[in-house]
């Protein structure tokens, strides 16, 4: 394996004794422990002993989300209370990890708006608005509002905007230093992920595997100038155009038919980890587009590098190795979930490993020097595959799991056994903490017209029918699972009421923090799962907590604002409303005395019923066929979950002139409501009839429930 200059420098100056003591104490620090030399930027970010800051997405380069802080521990956590808070009335979905650098807390909110505040009291220092609505191209519609985070490196904050810019800001002033376009704004690709800065570069990918036959890629830029350093495509293009590199030539051998015309995907929308010890960047790659492999690769094949971890040289972007978790993906089982680094004892030997718990439900331990599988076991029910073969490293797929001979019950569902909600790893308990999902979906491709899909590749989609099954694998759909990566066994599990819960934070104080969809912020005992402390935020939580220490005081910070894909499309409303509950940044300490204004209770909007509005069934059906462009935010069956207003209860959808201003003219574009410029008057009318029909139906349903005493 080729080692970078950075690694060589470390080896020359290493003090083996000190390294081994630090390693024993913390089980982590192989670099950044040398007091005699100034640390490089990457050593600083990799330094697990720094407790003042939260410098990177997963705290340090290892992405462990483990803090050595012990002030808040299993006995003191009962005293944890809000120290200060910041109301965020113009934010909606908040899903991002905040950063703390030199006493300043940075976070990104709705429409990629960044704020820098004093981390000890919340006083605003600067705000930056990249004005996403003004930069949106013509083909992009839903999903404008969310971002999972930002990156810090050498005095700069990096943000990637939804429509495709990567921007560098001065961390002190918030002034823009440079901006580059990393995707064509007219392409049906978008960015929700955090950029990752490392080795004087900053990398960003994109999403859009289902939107069109998109070829996913990642691009690394110079942190100082924004000049492109390298780009790595995740799936091969048309062989007639020549391959970009040997890796693409190798990948092309695993695709069949004319794949470049009909599909692709692999989009890296999340999951970048920099390995400072090996000067390697690991990319978690996306699922295939469309999901049905018969369309994108008609005679089968593993379809590299879909659903994989790909290891690239940090300097050049050159391929080093890959491990594919789901060959020939057919279920949206992408591997975009976090890639967590550690050095642990495997069969008595210190081994540099990756931990990865992707959507497909298996927990993987991989040797990060070679890319070879060490072990893989299911952490939830996995009906698509019986096990992972330890010799080939490949899953053994169950009969008809690829749904070409009729309907089949598949678990995990396309929401995944685990999504982007962060997993953490505690080197003291030696356990990983996974926000898990227990869900299933019925797949059936027998009625899919493959020829039709091939004739219209640009429409995008999945090319298979899916539906909800009658039963789910467990009585609860969400849980927090503590997993032992050495024994590959569950240490404990806490069931949750809801499916879509936030990422985790773990500390040397013996704690695991996690927020839930139903608004509780919980602290658990890390080795047993016992609930030690709970705070009701009054609104669903989707962001992971962070912790840091300023002037001797340990803080725990949490953004509160239900969000992410499932928050829009989920079946049931939890009472989180677009306009009612206050979105907030809550910061806790053991001395906290802030009085936080109470949230209004969960709210279930009453549909407006206009008896003079006569529903035309034909128009309502046409409206139903247009509504797929709206449901990601306004909710399935027109029942909103907090990401956007509930249209059944909105007076706007009763007045065609007002409706046109919102839907076609885009008067709320700055809040993320796209301008659907191609909608005709007839389309708008059809949507109104569909919304009225749904409003009347829910009104009737509510009346029936009241009558039945429910």
Query: From the CA atom positions of the chain, what is the Rg in Å?
Result: 25
Residue owning tokens 């934070």: 505
Q: 673 with 634: CB under 8 angstroms?
A: no
Q: Least distance to Ca ion from the beta carbon of 267, Å?
A: 8
**Tokens standing for residue 550:** 């300023």
Number of residues that bind Ca ion (CB under 5 A): 2
Judged by beta carbon, residue 371 or residue 460, the one nearer Ca ion is 460
Stretch that binds Ca ion, among 329-337, 506-514, 526-534, 567-575 (CB under 5 A): 329-337
Judged by beta carbon, residue 204 or residue 365, the one nearer Ca ion is 204
**Tokens standing for residue 680:** 């005709």
Stretch that binds Ca ion, among 184-192, 279-287, 547-555, 585-593 (CB under 5 A): 279-287
Stretch that binds Ca ion, among 105-113, 282-290, 323-331, 391-399 (CB under 5 A): 282-290
Stretch that binds Ca ion, among 57-65, 118-126, 138-146, 280-288 (CB under 5 A): 280-288
Q: Least distance to Ca ion from the beta carbon of 334, Å?
A: 5
Judged by beta carbon, residue 275 or residue 332, the one nearer Ca ion is 332
Q: 145 with 673: CB under 8 angstroms?
A: no
Nearest to 64 by CA among 428, 279, 341, 276: 341
DSSP string for residues in 104-152: EEEEE-GGG-EEEEETTT--EEEEE---HHHH--TT--S--S---B-EE
Return the SS3 of 13: helix
Q: Least distance to Ca ion from the beta carbon of 332, Å?
A: 5
Judged by beta carbon, residue 542 or residue 589, the one nearer Ca ion is 542
Candidates 83, 332, 439, 577; catalytic one:
332
Residue from 67, 147, 214, 287 that binds Ca ion (CB under 5 A)?
287
Nearest to 292 by CA among 181, 414, 381, 376: 414
Stretch that binds Ca ion, among 4-12, 283-291, 562-570, 631-639 (CB under 5 A): 283-291
Judged by beta carbon, residue 113 or residue 296, the one nearer Ca ion is 296
Other residues' Cβ atoms within 10 Å of the Cβ of residue 531: 12
| Catalytic-residue membership of 329 | no
Q: Least distance to Ca ion from the beta carbon of 93, Å?
A: 18
The verdict on 325 binding Ca ion (CB under 5 A) reads: no
**Tokens standing for residue 160:** 């990637």
Return the SS3 of 41: helix
Q: Least distance to Ca ion from the beta carbon of 333, Å?
A: 9
The verdict on 332 binding Ca ion (CB under 5 A) reads: yes
Distance CA(689)–CA(654), nearest Å, equals 9
Residue 82: enclosing H or E segment and its boundaries?
strand 81-87
Judged by beta carbon, residue 91 or residue 332, the one nearer Ca ion is 332
Could you say which DSSP state residue 643 is in? S
Reported as half-sphere exposure (CB side, CA atoms, 13 A), residue 284 has a value of: 26
Q: 373 with 400: CB under 8 angstroms?
A: no
**Tokens standing for residue 639:** 């029942």
Q: Least distance to Ca ion from the beta carbon of 584, Å?
A: 30
Q: Least distance to Ca ion from the beta carbon of 644, Å?
A: 21
Q: Which residues are tagged catalytic?
A: 332
Interface residues with Ca ion (CB under 5 A) are 287, 332
């Amino acid at each position: 394996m080729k080692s970078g200059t950075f690694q060589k420098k470390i080896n020359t100056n290493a003090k083996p004794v000190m390294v081994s003591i630090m390693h024993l104490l913390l089980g982590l620090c192989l670099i950044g422990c040398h007091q005699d030399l100034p640390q490089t930027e990457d050593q600083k970010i990799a330094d697990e002993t720094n407790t003042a800051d939260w410098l990177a997405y997963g705290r340090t380069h290892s992405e462990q989300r483990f803090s050595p802080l012990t002030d808040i521990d299993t006995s003191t956590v009962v005293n944890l209370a809000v120290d200060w808070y910041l109301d965020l009335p113009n934010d909606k979905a908040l899903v991002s990890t905040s950063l703390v650098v030199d006493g300043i807390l940075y976070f990104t909110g709705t429409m990629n708006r960044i704020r820098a505040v004093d981390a000890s009291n919340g006083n605003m220092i600067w705000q930056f608005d990249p004005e996403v609505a003004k930069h949106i191209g013509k083909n992009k519609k839903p999903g404008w509002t969310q971002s999972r985070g930002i990156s810090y490196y050498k005095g700069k904050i990096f943000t990637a905007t939804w429509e495709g810019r990567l921007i560098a800001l001065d961390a002190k002033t918030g002034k823009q230093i440079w901006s580059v376009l990393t995707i064509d704004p007219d392409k049906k690709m978008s960015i929700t992920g955090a950029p990752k800065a490392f080795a004087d570069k900053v990398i960003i990918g994109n999403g859009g595997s289902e939107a069109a036959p998109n070829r996913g890629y990642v691009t690394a830029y110079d942190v100082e100038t924004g000049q492109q350093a390298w780009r790595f495509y995740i799936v091969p293009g048309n062989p007639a155009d020549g391959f970009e590199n040997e890796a693409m030539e190798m990948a092309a051998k695993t695709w069949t038919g004319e794949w470049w015309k009909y599909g692709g995907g692999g989009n890296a929308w999340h999951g970048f980890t920099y390995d400072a010890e090996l000067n390697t960047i690991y990319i978690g790659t996306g699922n295939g587009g469309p999901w049905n492999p018969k369309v994108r690769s008609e005679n089968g094949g593993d379809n590299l590098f879909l659903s994989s971890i790909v290891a690239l040289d940090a300097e050049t972007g050159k391929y080093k190795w890959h491990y594919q978790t789901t060959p020939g993906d057919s279920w949206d089982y992408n591997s975009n979930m976090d890639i967590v680094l550690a050095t642990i004892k495997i069969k008595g030997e210190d081994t540099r490993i990756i931990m990865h718990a992707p959507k497909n439900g298996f927990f993987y331990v991989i040797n990060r020097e070679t890319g070879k599988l060490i072990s893989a076991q299911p952490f939830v029910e996995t009906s698509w595959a019986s096990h992972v073969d330890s010799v080939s490293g490949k899953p053994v797929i169950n009969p008809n799991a690829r749904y070409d001979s009729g309907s089949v019950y598949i678990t995990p569902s396309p929401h995944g056994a685990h999504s982007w909600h962060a997993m953490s790893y505690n080197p003291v308990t030696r356990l990983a903490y996974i926000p898990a999902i227990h869900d299933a979906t019925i797949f059936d491709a027998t009625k899919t017209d493959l020829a039709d899909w091939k004739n219209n590749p640009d429409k995008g989609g999945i090319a298979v029918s899916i539906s909800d099954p009658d039963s789910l694998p467990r009585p609860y759909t969400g849980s927090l699972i503590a997993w032992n990566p050495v024994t590959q066994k569950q240490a404990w599990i806490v069931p949750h009421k809801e499916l879509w819960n936030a990422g985790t934070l773990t500390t040397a104080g013996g704690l695991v923090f996690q927020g839930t969809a139903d608004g509780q912020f919980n602290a658990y005992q890390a080795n047993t799962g016992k609930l030690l402390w709970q705070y009701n935020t009054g609104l669903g939580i989707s962001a992971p907590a962070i912790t840091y220490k300023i002037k001797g005081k340990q803080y725990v910070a949490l953004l509160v604002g239900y969000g992410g894909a499932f928050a829009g499309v989920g079946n049931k409303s939890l009472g989180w409303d677009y306009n009612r509950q206050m979105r907030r940044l809550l910061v806790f300490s053991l001395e906290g005395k802030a009085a936080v204004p109470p949230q209004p209770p969960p709210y279930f909007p009453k549909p407006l019923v206009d008896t003079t509005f006569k529903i035309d069934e034909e128009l309502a059906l046409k409206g139903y066929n247009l509504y797929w462009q709206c449901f990601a935010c306004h909710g399935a069956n027109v029942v909103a979950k907090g990401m956007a207003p509930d249209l059944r209860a909105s007076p706007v959808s009763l007045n065609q002139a007002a409706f046109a201003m919102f839907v076609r003219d885009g008067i709320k574009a700055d809040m993320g409501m796209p301008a659907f410029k191609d909608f005709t008057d007839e389309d708008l009318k059809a949507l109104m009839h569909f919304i009225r029909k749904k409003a009347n139906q829910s009104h009737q349903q509510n009346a029936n429930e009241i009558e039945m005493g429910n």
